[in-house]
Amino acid sequence: MIEKVKFFLRLTGNNLWQFRTRNLFSVTIICLSFLTVGIFMSLSNNLRDTARELSSNMSVAFYLEPGLSPAASDAIRQEISKPAFVESVKSVTPAEALERFRTSFPELADIVAGLKGNPFPPSLELRVNAKASASKEVVAFVEGMKKRPGVTDVLFNQDWVEKMQGFSRLAGAIGAFLGGILILTSFFIISNVVKLNVFARKNEIEILRMVGGTNLFIRIPFWLEGITLGLLGSLLSLGLLFIVIRLFPVYLGASLGALQELLRFRYPDLTQAIALLCGGAATGFIGSATSVSKFLKV
């Protein structure tokens, strides 16, 4: 058994080397296809993580009517503290809001200094626990509170979370679509390369049949070739993906400005890397198996 495995591996190695130019071509195509999938996957990873980060820090700001009595303010505070998804509630006075503005936007200090009064209304800041963030329950509650007397406006960052999640899904879908087309292309290329190899080795196949080689014995080297090409292509794409992720911020990062955060790539995790490799191997195997079964009538 071990002898047979060694024999097949040796044979596969020899065959890959014998037709190295066309094999290199198919490895390149597989590599580019999986690199495309990988790039969109890592972009999607980033958007998903950003959406997760946003939703875990989700807060709702309830702006109160200026001059609202402390009793009325307390009543609202008690009301918004009730739901189970509320983690904490914090009162922000107009003075605190002004101070926050000064700290956040130091370049606008002149405008702040020119103000006659404090334009910021008092507010209540509510933190939602991560599990319930952006749930229908929270949205319904916020909508209800908008109509409550004493509350002038509500600021809720749920829209951002939804947008991020949407972008993440879109990036994933584009990746899957483009990657799918390219993987299909590489599947056909492998299939054709193996077909060419089958034709080029027709004489050898004939000899193997003649000396009593089984169908499996004749087919295994072709399958192994397909798997090796697929694995090499996807491994190379993984390497290139790491280089792209590393070099992207260096060359393009700064010029993207505010988009930099959104377009930041994240390294694929181990599961994704293994999935890419397995995808490569599977593409190679299916490509060669269909070709062999179609063109190798043994």
Question: Taking CB under 8 A as the rule, does residue 249 contact another protein?
Answer: no
- Tell which residue, 265, 271, 278, 285, has the closest CA to residue 42: 265
Contact 123, 173 (CB under 8 A): no
Question: Near another protein by CB under 8 A, which window of 68-76, 86-94, 98-106, 209-217?
Answer: 209-217
Question: Near another protein by CB under 8 A, which window of 130-138, 169-177, 208-216, 241-249?
Answer: 208-216
State the Cα–Cα distance between residues 231 and 181, nearest whole angstrom: 18
Report the nearest approach of another protein to the CB of residue 210 (Å).
6
Report the nearest approach of another protein to the CB of residue 203 (Å).
7
Question: Near another protein by CB under 8 A, which window of 96-104, 116-124, 164-172, 213-221?
Answer: 213-221
What is the CB-side half-sphere exposure of residue 107 using CA atoms within 13 A? 0
Within 8 A by CB and 6+ apart from 292, the residues are 194, 198, 219, 222, 223
Q: What is the largest CA-CA distance in the chain?
A: 101
Question: Taking CB under 8 A as the rule, does residue 211 contact another protein?
Answer: yes
The binder of another protein chosen from 72, 196, 208, 240 (CB under 8 A): 208
Question: Taking CB under 8 A as the rule, does residue 90 contact another protein?
Answer: no
The binder of another protein chosen from 7, 177, 199, 267 (CB under 8 A): 7
Question: Taking CB under 8 A as the rule, does residue 4 contact another protein?
Answer: yes
Question: Taking CB under 8 A as the rule, does residue 127 contact another protein?
Answer: no
Question: Taking CB under 8 A as the rule, does residue 61 contact another protein?
Answer: no
Question: Taking CB under 8 A as the rule, does residue 213 contact another protein?
Answer: yes
Query: Residue 232 burial by CB count (10 A; 0-12/13-18/19+): exposed, middle or buried?
Result: buried
Task: Give the dihedral sign, CA 132/133/134/138.
Answer: positive
What is the CB-side half-sphere exposure of residue 188 using CA atoms within 13 A? 5
Question: Taking CB under 8 A as the rule, does residue 212 contact another protein?
Answer: yes
Question: Near another protein by CB under 8 A, which window of 27-35, 69-77, 112-120, 200-208?
Answer: 200-208
Alpha helices in the chain (DSSP H): 2-18, 20-56, 70-81, 94-104, 109-114, 136-146, 158-200, 202-210, 215-248, 259-262, 270-295
Q: Residue 92 corresponds to which tokens in the numbers above?
A: 């922000």
Among residues 89 and 208, whose Cβ is nearest to another protein?
208
Question: Taking CB under 8 A as the rule, does residue 22 contact another protein?
Answer: no
Question: Taking CB under 8 A as the rule, does residue 6 contact another protein?
Answer: yes
State the Cα–Cα distance between residues 224 and 285, nearest whole angstrom: 7
Helix (H, G, I), strand (E, B) or coil at 65: coil
Question: Taking CB under 8 A as the rule, does residue 91 contact another protein?
Answer: no
Question: Near another protein by CB under 8 A, which window of 75-83, 105-113, 135-143, 199-207?
Answer: 199-207
Question: How many residues bind to another protein according to rule CB under 8 A?
Answer: 19
Report the nearest approach of another protein to the CB of residue 212 (Å).
4
Applying CB under 8 A, the residues found at the interface with another protein are 1, 3-4, 6-7, 18, 203-204, 206-215, 217
